[in-house]
Structures are given as C-alpha cells and as structure tokens.
Structure 1
Amino acid sequence: MTLQYPEVGEFVLGTVKKIVPYGAFIFLDEYGMDAFLHISEVSSGWVRNIRERIKESQKLVLMVTRIDPEKRQVDVSLKKVGEADRKRKLESTQQAKRAEKLLERVAIKLGKTPQLAVKEAGEPLTNEYGELYAAFEALAIGEEPKSKVGKAWLDAMREVAKAEIKEKFVCERGVLKLKCFAGNGVEQVKQVLSIIEKMGSEKTEVEIHYVGAPVYYVDVQAPDPKTLGKMMGKIEQTVEQKVSKGMEWSFEREKK
C-alpha cells in the first residue's frame, strides 16, 4: 500500500503519542502516519522541559517541514504555526467532518452506500472545489458544479445543503455624496437613491442610510467577494448615468 504524504509547508492536525527529552512523536490524524516534532521546533524561545509545553494525547496544529519517503520520516514544527493558521486549520477540519456527515445523509436519502457517495459525488466535487464542504456551500447558493456528477446526487446534495448550511455573506459600504442645485434638487436626489436601492436582487442586498446631507451610506451584502465587487462597480456606474445636469456626486468604497 502506497502511503500518501502531506506536502512540505502544509498545516496538519496531529495527536501527541509519546514525549521524549528531545521531542515528541506525533500521529498525523489525516494521513494515518507518524511524524516527529523536535524540541527546537516547539517554541521560538528556549524550551527547558518539553512537557511544560505539550502533553500526551494533546491535539496540535503543526506545519510539515521535511519529508523523506524512503525513510518514511516526516518532520513537523509547532513554532511555525501562527494563531490565524491554527484557527483556519481547525475550522477546515471541522468543516471536513461536517461535509462527511452531510454526504452520508445524502447517501441515505438516495438509498446508496457512503462509499458509493464518496466515489461518485464526493471525490469529483472535492477535486473541483478543493474541499467537499466548499462544494456543499456552492450548492447551497445555487451554483452549478462543472464536475461530472449525476443529477440525482446533485439534487440530493443541493437539498441537504440548503437545509443545513447557512449562507455566508460578505459586506461592504460605499460613501455616496450627492448634491443638486436645481429647484427640484431634493426630488432628483431621492430618485437616484431609489434607483440604487432597487438594484438589489434575491442574493444581493442594497441599503441606503442617510448620514447627513449630502452624504449617504450605501451598504451592500453579497454571497461572495466577486459578486460584491461587481455590484459596487455597477452602483457607481448607475450613479454616473443617472445624475442630471446641475448635480455633483462622488462614490468611494470604504477601506477595510
């Protein structure tokens, strides 16, 4: 049986098996193999006693630093893992477990085995999206995968995804300054604002908030950054097209 090794630089989840004076033997949960954590890779500072930093059976997020397939050796580091890296890995691991459970539900729904679900739907969608949970998220918002997966699988996965996965939204605020010096200036400004607010759709929400003449906040909520960016650009283009002679305007996206 050929072992599947992680890649150098990859963040992995491991369980501390045995601690020795010069390091610790780690079981890599996702790969089913052992790795070694040298005491010098536990912390950026001096470690007098490794047992003061880690405990046996403890779960750790580690970075793979060296692989030697011939000797079947994998070296890992704890000190090279930042807090943000640790959180992302733990979240990814939780999502992978959840995706596995969701796929099992899909299999039961169709009267199929979990193994067949993985082969016919899980594997091709994971190859396309990188992670199975990402595929479920895409199906939840109505995205159509390019993978060759049977319609029955996709329909069942879409149904489960919509029931179990809450849509994630990204938000951004634009600052609109709008002046009109004509006699009916107030009405003209209201008309432009009304057009902007109606630009929202089923998946993209647009709200106008009055700050104080001539400043208005334009808050946009969308399912992904790409859709959000398109809407912000469309709003600016629409304002430019709809303002009439005698009106002054500017539109800036707030810096995050």
Structure 2
Amino acid sequence: MPRFYENKYPEVDQLVMVQVQSIEDMGAYVKLLEYDGIEGMVLLSELSRRRIRSVQKHIRVGRNEVVVVMRVDPDKGYIDLSKRRVSAEEVVKCEEQYEKGKAVDSILTQVAKRRGVTPESLYEKIAWPLHRKYGHSYEAFKLSIQEPDAVFGGLDIDEETLAELKHNIARRLTPKPVKVRADIEVKCFAYSGIEAIRKALRAGEACSTEEVPIKVRLVAPPLYVMSTTSTDKTAAIEIMEKAVEAIGNTIAEEKGDITIKMAPKVVSETEDAELKALMEQFEQANMDVAGDDDEDSEDDE
C-alpha cells in the first residue's frame, strides 16, 4: 500500500481515510490508507457523540471511514483517531481528497509498471514535489494536460518516464464530454404563433457559448428538446438553464407559454437513444400521413 504524502505520519487534527481491521474491547484497529497502511486506533469513546448501544452500528470491519487524528507518537507508532469529532462536511472533503490520491496512485503505479521501477521512486521524484508546489499532485496532473512544460519542468525524470506519465494522465484525467438535455413544450395561440415560437427558440440558442453550443430540435409539436455536449458539466447545466429562461421570457412577451417537461440535466446514452427512437417514431408517423394523402389524391383522379 502506497504512502500518498511525503510525511511518514499524518499531523494532529488532520482528516484521514482508514479501513477498519478489527474491533476489540478498547476500540477499533484501523489502517491508514493514505499512509502506507500504518496502524491506528479509534477508541470506543471516540466512535460517536451518542451513547453506544451497538458498536456494529457505528463501525464495521472492512469498511472505510473518515477520522481525524488526535495524537501521534512516532517513537511508539501510536496513532489515536476519532470518528465522532468529524462533521458531515469534513467527511465529503476527505473523501474527495482520498479519491484524488487514488487517481494519482493509479497513474504512478501504471507508469512504474511500464518503466520497471517502484511506485515509491515516482512518488519521491514526481508526486511529492508537485504536491508541495500545487497543494495536491492531482491538481498538477490536471494542469499538465494544458501546460506540461510549466508543471513538469525542473523535475528529475527521464524523457521515457515523462512520456509515459503524460500518456497516462491524458488517458485518465482528460475531461470526458457529457450531454445535457432539457425537454420543453412551447405554445403560442396568438396570430404570430409559429413565428413567435421560432423567435423564442432562437433566443434560447443565442445563449450558446463556444464551450457550450445549444441546439433545439422539434420532437412533435409542441414538444422541443434542447441539448448540448460539453466537458464542463456545471457550466453546461447553468447555460442551459439560462437558455430555458430566455425562451420562457421571449414566448411570454408574445402571449405564449412554456412548460418544462424535463429541466436541464446530464443524460445517459440510454436516455438519448430513447429520445432518438421517439423522434424517429414521430417522423415515420408523419411520413405515413403524407403517404395517405398522396393515395387519396390519386383516388380522386
């Protein structure tokens, strides 16, 4: 098990991720997942703020837990930990930090395997120096996708290792595009009905940016689908929400109205396929109707 960070032991008041190994009379023995699996203990009195009737309800063997460091004795190897002193917000914060550490470890382990070296040597040469400079080596790895020279310049690594590192970072950390969709019904029974709807939909598409291009397609009157594909999920949802608002405001000025059937959200390939099938179904129905009209006109002749 690797040591994610340069210090051999965590500091007092630091949040750490542990895995429960055993539960004894005094407390739970755990291993610190970010610190080479060294042993620590969570005393029973530090498991919960409430009265403990069943230890199993608060902690279980094999489960990962977020705890805070209370005492470290490097000479004796004692690390006392507390679960009850950790807030819900701190749990989320620590879990995010741990996931970043795991991502870095996975990349370095793969590079080490390909280059025939130990992961520990790469931590010393790459991860720990970057951690000191950027706050976390994960952030440095992400930045390196755009600015490799700025991030890796000055590190003591050979060209082959650097090339392998860049390859793995690009494969693992390059943001993957997501599809964001919203389904809306737009109606206008005023004299300018169709043109008013077009104007409103154009107002929505006008909210597009280079990173978040918005398209509006007709499913079947009055249902329209808005969609965008972007690597920035948060920005995509925010801009799509603004586009829906723009359509609503514009159609309201024309005495029409909008009904949001599905608010902007990330959709899966399955949901996208279902929409495509629905649109094809309506398209086929329209073609059938047009075909019926042709037959009728031939009969009339």
Which TM-score band applies after superposition, normalised by the shorter structure? 0.5 to 0.7
Q: Give CA-to-partner distance per residue, 1:152-181, whole Å, 9 cap, x none.
A: 677654533444457264847486857484
Post-superposition shift, 1:6?
4.0
Matched residues, number: 250
Residue from 143, 147, 151 that aligns with 1:148: 151
Tell whether 2:21 aligns with 1:12: no
Post-superposition shift, 1:38?
1.4
Q: Distance in 1 between matches of 2:28 and 2:238?
A: 50
- The Cα RMSD (Å) is 5.5
- Spell out the pairing of 1:47-196 with structure 2 (5 A cutoff): 47=52, 58-64=62-68, 66-67=70-71, 74-79=79-84, 93=98, 96-106=101-111, 114=119, 117-119=122-124, 121-123=126-128, 125-126=130-131, 131-133=136-138, 143-144=146-147, 147-150=150-153, 156-164=164-172, 167=176, 169=178, 171=180, 173=182, 179=188, 181-183=190-192, 185-187=193-195, 189-190=197-198, 193=201, 196=204
- Per the alignment, in what secondary structure is the counterpart of residue 167 of structure 1? coil
Post-superposition shift, 1:64?
0.9
**In the alignment, what sits opposite 2:216?**
208
- Per the alignment, in what secondary structure is the counterpart of residue 104 of structure 2? helix
Q: Which has the higher strand share?
A: 1
**In the alignment, what sits opposite 2:226?**
218
Matched to 1:64, the amino acid is V
- Spell out the pairing of 1:14-33 with structure 2 (5 A cutoff): 14-16=19-21, 19=24, 21-32=25-36, 33=38
Extract unaligned runs of 5+ from structure 1. Answer: none
Q: Distance in 2 between matches of 1:70 and 1:107?
A: 29
TM-score w.r.t. structure 2 length? 0.52
Matched to 1:99, the amino acid is V
Extract unaligned runs of 5+ from structure 2. Answer: 1-5, 266-301
Call closer, same or farther: CA 1:161–1:198 in 2, change over 3 Å.
farther
Matched to 2:176, the amino acid is E
Structure whose alpha-carbon radius of gyration is higher: 2
Task: State the identity %.
Answer: 18
Q: Distance in 1 between matches of 2:143 and 2:54?
A: 47
> 1:136·1:157 contact (CA, 8 Å) conserved in 2?
no
Q: Distance in 2 between matches of 1:44 and 1:239?
A: 51
Q: Give CA-to-partner distance per residue, 1:120-145, whole Å, 9 cap, x none.
A: 54345545765545655666xx6447
Post-superposition shift, 1:5?
1.7
> 1:176·1:218 contact (CA, 8 Å) conserved in 2?
no
Call closer, same or farther: CA 1:205–1:10 in 2, change over 3 Å.
farther
